[in-house]
Amino acid sequence: MHTIRRTAVAALAAATLSIAPLSVAEAAVHAKPAGSHSSHGGKGGGASHHLSAQTRGVLRQVTVRDRALARVAASRAITGLADEQESVLTASIAQDRADLAALKDAVSAGTTKPRAAKAALRAVRVENYLRAVAVLRDAAELADAAVDLPEVLDLVDAVVAGVLEVSATGGRTVLRTARADLEDAWALYDELTAEPEECTADETDDCTDDGTDDGTDDGTGDGTEDGTGGSDDGGDTPEVEPLG
């Protein structure tokens, strides 16, 4: 299989930077506020204060992911794409941010518990967009190379249409399928552009045997070496006694 020729090392590095603060936010969920004591305010007061800390920690995680999505939307990874592709991915990011805002409101109002909110946040993968961009760039490279190969271009169009369905919460299957289809498209391109195999004298242009080979070395086909019917140069003839 052809290896995807473009990578998103820089883009994925950006994703790592955007997601790294999550570990800090996660730690903050379990951290006690400065100066607080578990016995403060009695048993009920301590439990209430702990719940408040969990809620604040979840809200910080929501904010971190929302800012990461905003950075991706404004990055060159997105703005450098074709206009239609940029528009589709930007709209998808906007929807993800709207979902995060709704989650934040629900947590603040107490209608969604912190544990449920954290489970929802784990499904938000900002890096899905950067991986989608890597596929789109490689697809564009193949489209440029295969401009005269409609069979390949059809496959590329299908890859692009599929990968544009990516979102922060629904990207694993989409990306896996797109990468596999793009590998197939590259393989077809390599096959169609491969150098033709050289044929022997007894083969046709498509390198198949033309059936004219008679197996002889000199073209006579009579199995003789010198045309004398297999006789040698006179040795072993019987002697004739003289008369008389």
For residue 219, is it within any domain?
no
Give the pair of three-digit tokens for residue 196.
């033709």
For residue 237, is it within any domain?
no
Burial label, 49 (beta-carbon count in 10 A; 0-12, 13-18, 19+): middle
Top-confidence residue, 135 or 230: 135
Measured between its terminal Cα atoms, the distance across the chain in Å is 94
Q: Which residues lie closer than 8 Å to 6 by C-beta, 6 or more apart?
A: 134, 137, 138, 141
Average pLDDT over residues 110-131: 96
pLDDT value of residue 186 = 97
For residue 26, is it within any domain?
yes
Backbone angles phi, psi at 203, to 5 degrees: -120, 155
Top-confidence residue, 178 or 239: 178
Residue 207 has pLDDT above 60, yes or no: yes
* Domain count along the chain: 1
Q: Which residues lie closer than 8 Å to 81 by C-beta, 6 or more apart?
A: 89, 133, 136
Top-confidence residue, 155 or 226: 155
In this structure, the number of other CB atoms found within 10 A of the CB of residue 186 comes to 24
Amino acid identity at 82? A
For residue 221, is it within any domain?
no
- Mean per-residue pLDDT of the chain: 77
Amino acid identity at 86? E
For residue 225, is it within any domain?
no
pLDDT value of residue 77 = 95
- Alpha helix (H) ranges present in the chain? 9-19, 21-30, 42-74, 76-79, 83-109, 114-122, 127-145, 150-163, 172-192
* Confidence band for 116, pLDDT divided at 50, 70 and 90: very high
For residue 224, is it within any domain?
no
For residue 208, is it within any domain?
no
Alpha-carbon span 82 to 75, nearest angstrom: 14
Residue 107 has pLDDT above 80, yes or no: yes
Q: Which 8-state DSSP code applies to residue 2?
A: P
Top-confidence residue, 1 or 101: 101
pLDDT value of residue 195 = 84
Residue 33 has pLDDT above 80, yes or no: no
- Residue 63: which of 121, 1, 137, 134 has the closest Cα? 121
Q: Which residues lie closer than 8 Å to 158 by C-beta, 6 or more apart?
A: 181
Domain that holds residue 139: 9-33+40-192
Evaluate whether 179 touches 8 at the Cβ level (below 8 Å).
no
Distances (CA, A) of 202 to 57, 205, 215, 223: 78, 10, 11, 21
For residue 231, is it within any domain?
no
